[in-house]
Structure 1
Amino acid sequence: MIVRRLKECEGTDRQVHSETKTWDSVRMLLKDDGMGFSFHITTIYAGGETHIHYKHHLESVYCMSGNGEIETLADGKVYPIKEGTLYILDQNDEHILRGGTQDMKMACVFNPPITGNEVHRPDGSYAPAE
């Protein structure tokens, strides 16, 4: 059994900060844990905007608190995000994630799992899983 606490992971190499200062992510479950997916608690900072296009990963995201929006670039649709919202990027959807008036705390699941040090590349993606 694996047991980890968020507070114990914060401030370690499991916490990754974006170069743009728009988010940080605490990677609580990673590829080397052998579960077939990874699990993160991510903070999207109020007022920030991030271009994301996970070409090699599928992601599900649950908003635990805060507010913002996601815009899918293929069709220009904008979906509000608030506490209790789950969005699923089941088509490797290219999107813009925007923080609203409050920081968003998000629980994120990736498949395939990430290794832990990934940051968004210029095209908004993470590198393919090995």
Structure 2
Amino acid sequence: MIVRNLKEAESGNRRIVSPDGNWESTRMLLKDDNMGFSFHITTIYKDADFYMHYQNHLESVYCMSGRGEVETLDDGKRYPIEAGTLYILDKHDRHILRAFEEMKMACVFNPPLTGKEVHNKEGAYELEAETISS
């Protein structure tokens, strides 16, 4: 069994802050845990507005608090995001995430992240980034 505490993880090397200042993510479950997916608690800062395109990963995102929207770029649709909303990027969707308020999200990635990933210039995570230790 694996047991981790969010507050402890946030104060250690599992907390990653984006270089662009849009988000921070605490990586609670990673590739080295051998579960086949990774699990993250991510904070999207108020007024963040940024492009993502996970070419190498599928992601499900559950909004625990806050308010914003996600726009899918292939069809131009905008979806409101608020507490209780789940959105699933099941087709490697090119999208823009906007935070009207700070949003706290629970995120699952497949394949799992290794721990140090930040978005590359295409808005994606690389398949293999440096691994962080427990």
Scaled by the length of structure 2, the TM-score of the pair is 0.94
* Correspondence 1:16-55 to 2 at 5 A: 16-55=16-55
* Structure 1, gaps ≥5 residues long: none
Counterpart of 2:6 in structure 1 is 6
Counterpart of 1:111 in structure 2 is 110
Counterpart of 2:63 in structure 1 is 63
Q: What amino acid maps onto 2:25 in structure 1? A: S
d(CA) in 2 for partners of 1:50, 1:117:
19
d(CA) in 2 for partners of 1:85, 1:23:
18
Q: Contact 1:50/1:97 (CA < 8 Å) preserved in 2?
A: yes
d(CA) in 1 for partners of 2:127, 2:111:
9
Counterpart of 2:95 in structure 1 is 95
d(CA) in 2 for partners of 1:49, 1:4:
31
Which runs of structure 1 show a deviation greater than 2 angstroms over 4 or more consecutive aligned residues? none
d(CA) in 1 for partners of 2:114, 2:127:
11
Counterpart of 1:75 in structure 2 is 75
* Structure 2, gaps ≥5 residues long: 130-134
Q: Contact 1:27/1:38 (CA < 8 Å) preserved in 2?
A: yes
1:13 Cα deviation after fit:
1.2
1:129 Cα deviation after fit:
4.4
1:49 Cα deviation after fit:
1.0
d(CA) in 2 for partners of 1:66, 1:37:
25
Computed over aligned residues only, the root mean square deviation of the Cα atoms, in angstroms, reads 1.0
d(CA) in 2 for partners of 1:61, 1:81:
10
Q: Contact 1:59/1:88 (CA < 8 Å) preserved in 2?
A: yes
What secondary structure, in the 3-state scheme, does the structure 2 residue paired with 1:68 have?
strand
Deviations 1:38-93 (A, max 9, x none): 00000001111121100010000000000000000101111000000000000000
Q: Contact 1:26/1:41 (CA < 8 Å) preserved in 2?
A: yes
Percent identity, aligned pairs only?
A: 64
**Length, aligned pairs only:** 129
